[in-house]
Chains A and B, each alone.
Chain A
Amino acid sequence: MLKVLRVEKPMGDRERGSDQQMMQSLIKAIAESGDRDAFEALFARFGPRIKGMMISSGATDDMAEDLVQDVMMTIWRKAALYSPERGNVSTWIFTIARNARIDRLRRQPTQPYVDVDTITLECDAPTAETQVIGSQSDARVREAVELLPDEQKAVIELAFLRFKPQSTIAKELNVPIGTVKSRMRLAYQKLKEHLEELR
C-alpha cells in the first residue's frame, strides 16, 4: 500500500541546484498569479514527503493526510512571503510542517514562531551575500549532512524527520541526554562552517 511515488532519479549537485530553482519558480508563480498548475506540481513533490514525515513521527494515516492539507494550504496562502535568500524551498516547507504539527498537538498555538518570521521578514533585509548562500545552500546542506558521522546523522533524523523529543532520542539510542545535546551541537557547527565557506 505504501507505494513510493518517487519518480525522480537520484540527482547530482548540478541537477539538484536546478531542481531548487524550479521549486522557487513554482512558489513565485503561485505567489504572483495563483498558478494552480504550479501548485499541483509543488503538491506532487512535497505532499507525499510531508505525509511520510508525519507518519514517521507517529501520526495515523488520516492525521498525516489532514496535515498535508493544512501545510499545502498554508503554502498557498503564504507563497508571497517566501524569500529564497533566507533558505531553500524545502526548509521553508519544513518549518510550515513543523508548525502545523505543533498546532495539531498542543493547545498553545505556534504564535512565537510566527512572530519570529514576521520580524525576519521586516528586519532581515536580504543582501547580495545572503542571496548567494540562498541559491547555493541546497547542495551545500546536503554535502554537510552527508559528511556527518552516523551517530550525528541518527540524532538529526530522530529530531527533524521523526520529531522525537530529546529525552526520547536519548532513550532510543541508549545514551545520556548530554550526549544527544553534544551531537546536536556538533552537527550544527559542521553545517554552519560548511555554509560559511561560501562567504
Chain B
Amino acid sequence: MSIHHHLDAATLMRYASGDLDTAFTVVVASHLAMCDACRESVRVAEAMGGQCLDDAPAPMLSDGAFARLSHAIDAGVTRDTPVVPRAREIGSQHASDVPLPLRPFVGDTFDDVSWRMIVPGVHRHRIELADTQSSLYMLKIGEGRKMPEHGHGGPEMTLVMRGSYSDTLGHYGAGDVADLDEHVEHQPIVNSSEPCICLVATEEPTQFKGIVSRLMQPFVGI
C-alpha cells in the first residue's frame, strides 16, 4: 500500500505517551495498522518513554511486593507464546479491509455496518465510546459526491479506509490520514469509482460554511 499522508509528529508523541482520548486513539491505531512507516515512527517516540523510565525516581517498594507477585504466579498464570511473523506479502491488512483496531467497534466487514443516510450519497455510522468528549464516526460517500466545505472548531483526524477523495490538501487514498488542526478549511470530493469509506474523529462539532450548509448542520450532525 502506498501511503502519502502520515501522522503529525506531535500526534505520534501524544499516542506514545497515552495522551490521546479514545476516539483519536482508535483512528491513530487504525492508521498504524495500515502504515509500516508510522509504526516504526511510534517506536521512536516510545523510546522517549523508555528513557524516562530509566531515569524515573526509584522509591522503595512495600515489604513483600515480590512475594505477592510470586504467589500470584504460583496460583497459575497463562503465558503468551512467541508470535510467528506472517509472510510479508500479506501486508498489514489481514483478510478484511477493516483495520484490526476498528473491528471491536464495527465488526469484520463494512457491509454489516448500520449506515444511516444523512444526505443523498452520504452515509454515516456513529461509534459510541465510553469516556470521551470527542466524536468518532465512519462516513461512506459516493463517487463524485462532496462534503460541504467546512472548517473545524477543534482538531479533526480522518483516515481513508477504502476509495479516495481529494481536497485542497491533496489526494487521499486508502491508508492516508488527514491529521488536521483547527485552522484548516476544506471540502473533500470523492474521486474513486467505489464509495469512499473514512474513519473520522473530531474534538468539537464540525463547522460548515454557507447558509445551506448551516441549515443542514443540525440534520447532518457532524
Binding site for B on A (CB under 8 A): 1-6, 31, 34, 36, 40, 43, 46-53, 55-56, 65, 68-69, 72-73, 76-81, 86-95, 97-99, 101-102, 106-108, 111-113, 115-116, 118-126, 137, 141-142, 145, 156-157, 159-161, 163-166, 181-182, 184-185, 187-189, 191-192, 195
B85 touches A125 (CB 8 A): yes
- Pick the most buried of A112, A116, A159, A188: most chain B CB atoms within 10 A of its CB: A112
Within 8 Å of chain A (Cβ to Cβ): is B80?
A: yes
The binding surface of chain B is classed by DSSP as helix
**For the complex, what is the distance from the CA of A123 to the CA of B53, rounded to whole Å?**
27
By the criterion CB–CB under 8 Å, are A191 and B47 in contact? yes
A56 to B30, CA, bound (A): 31
Determine if B18 is an interface residue (Cβ-Cβ < 8 Å): yes
Indicate if the CB atoms of B61 and A47 lie closer than 8 Å.
Answer: yes
**Chain A residues, CB < 8 A from B42:** 116
Find chain B residues with CB under 8 A from A6 CB. 58
Contact indicator A91/B131 (Cβ below 8 Å): no
Contacts of B85 in A (CB 8 A): 121-126
Report the minimum CB–CB distance from A46 to chain B (whole Å): 7
- B80 near A101: Cβ-Cβ < 8 Å: no
On whether the beta carbons of A116 and B104 are closer than 8 Å, the reply is no
Question: Is the Cβ of B51 less than 8 Å from the Cβ of A106?
Answer: no
15 additional contacts (CB under 8 A) given A184-B9, A191-B48: A36-B73, A49-B53, A49-B54, A52-B56, A73-B73, A76-B79, A80-B79, A94-B49, A98-B49, A115-B100, A116-B32, A121-B85, A123-B91, A141-B50, A188-B48
Distance in angstroms from B220 CB to nearest chain A CB is: 26
